[in-house]
Amino acid sequence: MTSAWTEPAPVTVRVPAKVNLELLVGPPREDGYHPLSTVYQAVGIYDEITVRPADTWSVTVTGPFADLVPADDTNLALRAARLLGGDAVDAAPVAVSIYKRIPVAGGMAGGSADAAGALVACDALWNLGLHKEELEEIAVELGSDVPFLITGGTAMGSGRGELLAPVLAHGTFHWVFALSDTGLSTPAVYAECDRLRGDAPVAMPAPKPEMMAALRSGDAHALAAVLENDLQEAAFSLRPDLGGVLAEGLGLGALGGIVSGSGPTIAFLVEDKEAGIDLAVSLTASGLCPDVRRASGPVHGAHVLHGSRSS
């Protein structure tokens, strides 16, 4: 008699990048992390994470930024799969494949997105049926913004960025991202922020009512006026060329611009899709940034795909 057991089919998850619309940073905590008050928005630049049953744990990376991602035990997606496998089910190994479109070390949560994607993919492969909240609890162990990449949309983050609360936001916002050739290390940018502040007293961060009002209005002009990132000065200090990119985009008609997370990507908010195409063309022609991407947000967090390129 033949066995009825069949190996589970591979699962592919699509997971977005993020931009911080507001990133307010407090004084360092005893554990070295900084208390944050942030507003995340998930934007439509996606990595795809595929997991399939295998004899040993492994990870492979393809796509535009593949060369910059470690394909070894330090890979965050592989660590996420192993963590969930160990915690939840003592699971058999999986082979993880990543199709990478989110810039690496760009301030858009590329590594965190892959970790979030791997958790959602393994949950589906192993039929665990975990709730979003349960996955987010595991996600915290992998990085401060991994829980947000599971949630997606627009959300407030506090604590070190991992404590999420919903935000009432209307409409769709259109973004143009000016990428960099080289990344910035997140710990280095936080350390530079502390260094620049010196001994000056730093208040605990709190969400700003103006940001909440702008998001409720759905008005890109209102949102552009309140974009704020406490890490921007530190990113500029480490990468003085970024100031020129920001000024260029604003001069070319962006409604607003900001360093994305810890940088070095610069995020420009534009009126609509057409304005985004115009700005992307002009920024590319300026020669100031090697690569430009357009995306809109908010979009959903990590979700299972059926019939994708990498499954």
Q: Taking CB under 6 A as the rule, which mask of x and - marks residues 160-179 in contact with ligand C5P?
A: xx------------------
Instruction: Select which of 18, 47, 114, 230 is catalytic.
Output: 18
Among 107, 143, 256, 257, which residue sits at the site for ligand C5P (rule: CB under 6 A)? 143
State in angstroms the smallest separation of the CB of 184 from ligand C5P: 11
Q: Which is nearer to ligand C5P, 36 or 138 (CB)?
A: 36
181 is catalytic: no
Q: Please compute Rg for the chain using Cα positions.
A: 20
Q: How many CB atoms lie within 10 A of CB 107?
A: 30
Q: Does 57 bind ligand C5P (CB under 6 A)?
A: no
Cis peptide before 264 (omega within 30 of 0): yes
State how far the Cα of 87 lies from the Cα of 66, in Å rounded to an integer: 29
Sole residue written with tokens 């040993």: 56
Distance CA 62, CA 49 (A): 10
The answer to the question of residue 297 lying near ligand C5P (CB under 6 A) is: no
Nearer to ligand C5P, 12 or 186 (CB): 186
| 293 lines the binding site for ligand C5P (CB under 6 A) | no
Count CB-CB contacts under 10 A for residue 180.
21
* Chain centroid offset of residue 235 CA: 17
Of 302, 300, 303, 49, which is closest to residue 155 (Cα–Cα)? Answer: 300
Q: Is 11 or 149 the residue whose CB approaches ligand C5P more closely?
A: 149
Q: How far is the CB of 36 from ligand C5P (least distance, A)?
A: 5
CA–CA gap between residue 209 and residue 22 (Å, rounded): 11
Q: Are 60 and 98 in contact (CB under 8 A)?
A: yes
- Write down the least CB distance from residue 306 to ligand C5P, Å: 30
| Region of 6-14, 184-192, 239-247, 302-310 interacting with ligand C5P (CB under 6 A) | 184-192
Q: Which of 47, 123, 145, 230 is catalytic?
A: 145
145 is catalytic: yes
Among 15, 20, 24, 34, binds ligand C5P (CB under 6 A): 34
Q: How far is CA 10 from CA 7, 48, 52, 105, 123, in A?
A: 9, 12, 4, 28, 12
Positions annotated as catalytic residues are 18, 145
Interacting residues toward ligand C5P by CB under 6 A: 32-34, 36, 143-144, 160-161, 186-187, 190
